Structure 1
Amino acid sequence: MKTTGWIIYNGNLPGNKFLDYAEMLQAAANKLQSNAHLFKNNELMSVLSTSTLDLLSIDKKPDYVVFTDKDIYLARQLEYLNIPVFNSAHAIATSDDKIATYQELARKKLPIPKTIIAPKIFIEGSFPDFLIDQTIKELGLPLVIKEAFGSFGEQVYLVHTREELVEIIQTIGNKPFVFQEFISTSYGVDIRLQVVGNEVVAGMQRKSLDDFRANITAGGTMQPYEATQEEKKIAIEATKAIGANFAGVDLLFGKDGPLICEVNSNAHIRNLLDCTKINAADFIMSFIMKQLSA
């Protein structure tokens, strides 16, 4: 079946990594005889009225969309137009929000570090002292603070003292965040497993010598990693828990087994290719073509 698709990426963010990911998917689609076109999210405008739900200045809709951005409203608009979107708006929104992700993982009884959701603060400086003390009692020090929204290991803080904890809470202000148990056995090291459908197609281990975070963008190094059956099972279940068809799942080395650190529905795959020589884009597009023909 000859298909036409759109690969949508962010048109506002600087750098080439977002375009690079989209181009990798486009090349993989073209190899499968699917005519894939690249679109920036800011090239597509949604229009709504009592009698209209559409895209401005677009006559012919695609057979499918691969959505590599976080413009949830656009992704949902495409779904309302009955266009299959991979990953879905729901999966992308859940993945983008660490709090929503951890709630879904916990609901499925998947292994995660012990996590406390900070109450929603509307007025900065109003975080109660007793909640700070309760958090320290529950999680100990050091502990990790993660803002709900952030990428590439940013907006994640390792806190060693109560004073430091108070300072970071004040810095975060009224943005949503969580407190999380610090997994000392995984200091500066984690694994990234790329899941597509019911399969882990590639894996790499990431290490940092001078940071508790192992992200490559934060200076970490990488090497190919052959995941255990337990790690693969956890990664696949984590991907399904957020409703994604494919995702990059980051696992920590807990003292009693692997723990899920993050599930990224729009995981960039260039580093994975450089490290493992496996092009996840080929697996992603093959999966999508099979879904369309099912």
Structure 2
Amino acid sequence: MKPLLVLVDQISDWSPYYPTNQVVAISDYLSDYAETKGYVINLCRDYSYLGSGYYGSLLAEARGGQVFPSVRAIRELNSFESGQPLLPKHSRTLENISRKDETHPDRLDLRSFFGITQNAEMASIARRIFEVFGFPVVDVSFTRVQANLWVISSVQVRALDELEEASQTEFAEALDTFSHKIWRTRRSSKRYKYDVAILVNPEEALPPSNKGALKAFEKAGKDLGLNVDFITHRDANRVGEYDALFIRETTQVDHHTYRIAQSAENQGLFVIDSPTDIMRCSNKVYLHETLKRHNVDTPKTHLLLVQQNYNIDDIIEELGLPVIVKIPDGSFSIGVEKAKTREDLLECITRLGERSALLLLQEFMPTDFDWRIGIIDNQVIYACRYFMAKSHWQIYNHSARSNANKSGNADAFAIDKVPKNVIRTALKAAKCMGSGFYGVDLKASGDRAVIIEVNDNPSIDMGVEDLHSGNMLYQQIMGTMLRKLDELNGR
């Protein structure tokens, strides 16, 4: 049987149950655990984005554990909107339960412990709810909107300290059962027409692809037999009409790009960027933990849980000055600051700590340029050097008055001309994240190649990333999409 670890905010949360060394406080898990094998049950109270529960699941996934709830489940809960329909068979079940009651209620409630409920008639529904949301303890309400059509009207997660004595017993029994059995994962349906939707935002100031690149993607797709349509977030309800979704709008977790990707994948589409890639790549804590577990070289990094006591002088001794301070979900150099002095560092931690419970502090590694290696399905497809913005230490300088000075120059390279250690390190880092479409950012110094970030949704602009390979770059990306669709459809 695989090992089991239980995460709580404080050990005292576990006081109604038998003491065990399998229960760990989130602060201890942050500092004392590396690789995590087996199952992780995350019972932290706050599952909001960047809360302790969110980080509990994020760190567990990054360290190799199979965690409940997953980060994806947390995002699905946080983006939940009342009125989600049930499967027809489950609506019929609720209708039958309601008819047996002489009052014929239009609302029914369910409490589920790891997909297990005391109401035998709702057993299959409880299991389905757990497959979708994956939370240890939830209260779910269902509402009839018409005959034989019931919807989920609310989903509320319950913390351990909210459980009365009878529910504490049910929880303990369900946990014991769950630790010996894991539910199957959801199966996606398969579709057979090759229609590709490219999600764009015509009003975006810095889109991942300019107009020329979008036209090149469209042409490459059609040359390969893919019907390509451009859609915006206003077309989200149409995404199920397609076989694949290619996102060319800047992605964020707490954003419609994630919700559309999630909806598309749930409907069986092949998606670039997948919700998993968006979640993993958008959070630098996940990236750091994953690369650390796989021995991929990164700048010296200190994870700081802001509400815990810390010694600023020990951090400076570890990392030196200046120190780079990052919020986990920043992009385009936003939320990344350089603290030159001890006072600057304290001020950065205090200010950025108001936005995230965790911060990353890293050694400063000055270089004239960063490498960007484009990788899809674990294959290198382009290489660029991005130079620092004028008189600035980053590629992007958002405070520059002139648009010409907001970003540095870039040049594309033949892949075989890139230092081998840069390519090797980039491939290793991308493989740690998955098999999606990534832009891997590195700094190189001598024999050392150091990962700065692995980005989902990397920039592909006509006249920049395609300067060396031209139309072949677009053909490689759309060709990968075609091949993946063939694989999904058994061709």
TM-score by length of 2: 0.51
The DSSP-based 3-state class of the residue aligned with 1:250 is: strand
State how far apart, in whole Å, the 2-side matches of 1:204 and 1:141 are. 29
Aligned to 2:362: 180
Please tell me the residue identity of whatever aligns with 1:289: L
Q: Does 1:205 align with 2:396?
A: no
Q: 1:165 to 1:88 in 2, by over 3 A?
A: same
Correspondence for 2:183: none
Equivalent-residue separation in structure 1 for 2:259 and 2:475 (angstroms):
27
| 1:112 partner SS | coil
Corresponding residue to 2:475 among 265, 282, 287: 282
Equivalent residue for 2:453, pick from 255, 259, 262:
262
Letter of the 1:284 counterpart = I
Partners of 1:88 and 1:204 in 2: CA distance: 24
Change (3 A) 1:97 1:162: same
Match of 1:31 in 2: 223
One-letter amino acid matched to 1:92: I
Partners in 1 of 2:319 and 2:214 — Cα distance?
Answer: 40
Q: Mark the CA change 1:120 to 1:12 in structure 2 (over 3 Å): closer, same or farther.
A: farther
Q: Work out the CA distance in 1 between the residues paired with 2:219 and 2:287.
A: 30
Aligned to 1:222: 410
Cα displacement (A) at 1:214: 3.0
Q: Aligned-pair distance for 1:275? A: 4.2
CA distance in 1, matches of 2:239, 2:330: 35
Change (3 A) 1:132 1:86: same
Quote how far apart the aligned CAs of 1:164 are.
0.7
Alignment map for 1:74-89 (pairs within 5 Å): 74-89=260-275
Could you tell me which runs of 5 or more consecutive residues in structure 1 were left unpaired when the two chains were aligned. 45-54, 122-126
Question: Which residue number in structure 2 is paired with residue 245 of structure 1?
Answer: 436
Choose from 143, 151, 159 the match for 2:323.
Answer: 143
For the 8 Å contact 2:378–2:435, the answer to whether it is kept is no
Distance 1:210 1:274, change over 3 A: farther
Secondary structure at the counterpart of residue 118 of structure 1: strand
Structure 2 CA distance, aligned partners of 1:267 and 1:29?
Answer: 19
Q: Which amino acid aligns with 1:229?
A: K
Q: Which residue of 2 aligns with 1:233?
A: 424
Residues in 1 aligned to 2:476 and 2:306: alpha-carbon distance in whole angstroms: 40
1:91 to 1:120, Cα distance in 2 relative to 1, 3 A: farther
Matched AA of 1:183: M
| Deviations, residues 104-144 of structure 1 (Å, cap 9, x unaligned) | 222221111111122155xxxxx74x332232121111111
**Structure with higher RCO (Cα < 8 A, 6+ apart):** 1
Counterpart CA distance in 2 for 1:174 and 1:284 is 39
Distance in 2 (alpha carbons) for counterparts of 1:193 and 1:222: 13
Superposition map of 1:6-85 within 5 A: 6-10=197-201, 13-14=204-205, 20=211, 22-44=214-236, 55=237, 58=238, 61-69=241-249, 70=251, 71-85=257-271
**Displacement after TM superposition at 1:154 (Å):** 2.5
In structure 2, C-alpha distance between the alignment counterparts of 1:87 and 1:269, rounded to whole Å = 14
Q: Amino acid of the residue matched to residue 85 of structure 1?
A: V
Structure 1 segments of 4+ aligned residues over 6 angstroms from their partners: none
- Contact 2:412 2:466 (8 Å CA) reproduced: no
More displaced 10-residue stretch of structure 1: 207-216 or 140-149: 207-216
The count of residues paired between Structure 1 and Structure 2 equals: 274
Name the CA distance, whole Å, in 2 between partners of 1:91 and 1:28: 24
Cα distance between partner residues in 1 of 2:353 and 2:201: 27
TM-superposed deviation, 1:38: 1.1
2: CA distance, partners of 1:263 / 1:203? 14
Say if 1:117 and 1:27 are closer, same or farther in 2 by CA, change over 3 A. Answer: farther
AA aligned to 1:138 is E
Moved more, 210-219 or 2-11: 210-219
Say whether the 8 Å CA contact 1:202–1:272 is kept in structure 2. no
Q: SS of 2:198's equivalent?
A: strand
Measured at CA, do residues 12 and 272 of structure 1 come closer, stay the same or move farther in structure 2, by a change above 3 Å?
closer
Task: Note if contact 1:248-1:264 (Cα within 8 Å) is conserved in structure 2.
Answer: yes
CA 197–203 in structure 1, closer or farther in 2 if over 3 Å, else same: same
Cα deviation for residue 24 of structure 1 reads: 4.2
Are residues 1:192 and 2:357 paired? no
Alpha-carbon separation, structure 1, partners of 2:276 and 2:208 = 24
User: Could you tell me the percent identity over the aligned residues?
Assistant: 24
Distance 1:24 1:263, change over 3 A: farther
* Residues 52-86 of structure 1: per-residue CA shift (max 9 Å, x gap): xxx4xx39621111123422222112111111112
Pairwise CA distance, 1:211: 1.7
Matched to 1:145, the amino acid is V
Q: From the superposition, tell whether residues 291 and 224 of structure 1 become closer, same or farther in structure 2 (CA, over 3 Å).
A: same
Cross-structure match for 2:333: 153
Q: Which whole-Å CA distance do the structure 2 matches of 1:214 and 1:15 have between them?
A: 14
Q: Answer with 1 or 2: which has the greater Rg.
A: 2
- The structure-2 alpha-carbon separation of the partners of 1:34 and 1:11, relative to structure 1 and needing over 3 Å to count, comes to same
Tell me: CA distance 1:18–1:204, structure 2 relative to 1, closer, same or farther (3 Å).
closer
C-alpha RMSD over aligned residues = 2.6
